């Protein structure tokens, strides 16, 4: 009876260890994806910022849209030619 208890207990410990390892793996993958997305969006914002300064106005679906709209409006009111793509 005692032997069966220890056998079932070791199975439970093995299951928990495997699920914990799997959880850590998914957490690592999730963190990697999240940081890749954050870094990628940061470079995308930076790149689109240079693109905006270089040629025209591009609407971003974020808070940067307000800043860019204010930027374009300011230059439009000063009668500077500004091209929209």
Instruction: Tell me the C-alpha distance between 7 and 76, whole Å.
Output: 78
Instruction: Tell me the C-alpha distance between 19 and 23, whole Å.
Output: 6
Check residue 47 and give its pLDDT.
46
Q: Indicate the DSSP class of residue 82.
A: -
Check residue 69 and give its pLDDT.
52
Please write down the long-range contacts of 4-11, taking CB distance under 8 Å and 24 or more positions apart.
Answer: none
Check residue 14 and give its pLDDT.
72
Check residue 12 and give its pLDDT.
66
pLDDT (tens, 9 = 90+) of the chain, 85 residues, equals 455 555 566 666 676 677 777 766 766 666 666 555 555 444 444 544 444 444 444 444 444 444 555 555 444 444 444 455 4
Instruction: Tell me the C-alpha distance between 53 and 59, whole Å.
Output: 13
């Amino acid at each position: 009876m005692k032997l069966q208890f220890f056998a079932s207990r070791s199975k439970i410990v093995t299951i928990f260890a495997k699920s914990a390892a799997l959880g850590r793996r998914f957490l690592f993958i999730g963190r990697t994806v999240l940081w890749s997305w954050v870094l990628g969006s940061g470079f995308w914002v930076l790149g689109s910022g240079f693109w905006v300064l270089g040629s025209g106005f591009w609407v971003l679906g974020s808070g940067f849209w307000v800043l860019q709209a204010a930027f374009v409006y300011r230059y439009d009111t000063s009668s500077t030619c500004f091209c929209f793509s």
